[in-house]
Amino acid sequence: MTKRVKRFIAGAVCPQCGLQDKIVMYDEGHSSYRECVSCGFREELVTTTSTADKATAVDIQTVNIVGVSNKDV
C-alpha cells in the first residue's frame, strides 16, 4: 500500500527541458523525489523532510513578525 502525494513546486525549473512549473515533489519510502511531468526527468532528493519542515516554519514565522510590525508602525 503505497500512497504518493505529488506536489507542484511553484517557480521550479526543470534542469532537463527548462520548463517552469512542471516539477512535482513526492515521497516514496524514506526518500523524496522530484519529477518533471513534461519530459519525465526524475531525481532523488538528498534533503531530509524534517529539515525542510523546520526551514519552512522559520520562514513563515519571519513573515508573520514582519507583517505585524508593519501594521503597528
**Interaction of residue 41 with Zn ion, rule CB under 5 A:** yes
Chosen residue from 12, 16, 33, 35 binding Zn ion by CB under 5 A: 16
Chosen residue from 9, 28, 39, 62 binding Zn ion by CB under 5 A: 39
**Neighbour order of strands in the sheet with 7-8:** 7-8, 23-28, 31-36, 42-45
Burial class (CB in 10 A: 0-12, 13-18, 19+), 36: buried
Chosen residue from 17, 52, 58, 68 binding Zn ion by CB under 5 A: 17
Nearer to Zn ion, 18 or 53 (CB): 18
